[in-house]
Amino acid sequence: TEANAEYVVEKVSGKDETKKHLADLGFVAGEKVKVTSARNGNIIVTVKGVKIAIGDDLAKRITVRG
């Protein structure tokens, strides 16, 4: 995951509650995400114009393509 790289969400995996939580944050298939920074196990991304910080555990549930 590189800073300032843009990706498109392909799918979100995990339990239903995890998928719903990520969908509520804007992580849905086809949505563009831009990585602002990734360090210390946290990733800051911009989704739908909003900056969001997520931990590695949630980030691993999001499959993206470059």
The alpha carbon of 2 is separated from its chain's Cα centroid by a whole number of angstroms, namely 13
Mean predicted confidence (pLDDT) in 36-63: 93
> pLDDT per residue over 14-47, tens digit each?
999 999 999 999 999 999 999 999 888 899 999 9
pLDDT value of position 38: 87
pLDDT value of position 4: 85
pLDDT band of 1, cuts 50, 70, 90: low
Alpha carbon distances (Å) from 25 to 18, 28, 57, 61:
11, 9, 15, 13
Spatial contact of 44 and 52, defined as CB atoms under 8 Å apart:
yes
